[in-house]
Amino acid sequence: MKKNILIAIIIIAILLISGCMKTTDKAMQQLQEDEVSPVSSIVLTEADARRLNEKLPVTLYFSNQDGTGLINEIHYLSMDDAKQGTEQLASLLVKELVKGPSNSELKATIPEGAALRSQVKVENRTATVDMTKEFVDNHPGGKEAEEMTIFSIVNTLTELKDIETVKFLINGKEQKEFKGNFRFDNEFPRNESLIDNKQSFSVIPDDEDTLQTGADEIYEEEILE
């Protein structure tokens, strides 16, 4: 009887040791796979890496597909253009928002036909953005849609260290309300709660696709005049 019990104990011990060895082997295999697996699906060529090394990334915010949150899309501009000053850079970012996102998983937040009327002005860390009337007239309305539009601009511009709040003008004048859900004659601070930090997109530029700034930019106000 004692002999049978001893044999049973030995068999159980062998099985336990075998199981531990298999578990260890699986863990080692998983560790090796993790070490060789990329953490990102984006693969850069050497040429891409060289181009990006000479450019400054800027963050733009567009809407997700269901219009409930903002997702960032990284664009790039040359170092020379980055030195043009905050107002010039802020104007460029608004114009890029007007163009819309490059990634098909993102949605534009600026109504079709709307344009930046004059260069963004920055004073006391507040950026004043003067948009054409289409910014309001062509907007579909609705609280979430209005929120995406307002804070895509606000959150984009407050990525710049010299800007903390954003004020809007329409055709050079203050407007009391946007489309019925937001007061529009006050200064808007950054709203982090709308940002979906689980997703991010990046636009790898060709040399000719790099964002450009310049003193010869034409604004809608100049065209109207």
pTM over 0.75: no
Tokens (6 digits) for 183? 């007061």
Instruction: Specify the amino acid at residue 30.
Output: Q
Q: What is the pLDDT of residues 174-189, one digit of tens each?
A: 999 999 899 999 999 9
pLDDT at 27: 40
The C-alpha angle 180, 181, 186, rounded to 5 degrees, equals: 95
Q: What is the pLDDT of residues 162-215, one digit of tens each?
A: 999 999 999 999 999 999 899 999 999 999 999 999 999 988 766 555 454 444
Instruction: Specify the amino acid at residue 68.
Output: T
Instruction: Report the pLDDT averaged over residues 148-174.
Output: 97
Q: What is the pLDDT of residues 20-66, one digit of tens each?
A: 444 444 444 443 444 333 333 445 566 656 666 678 899 999 999 99
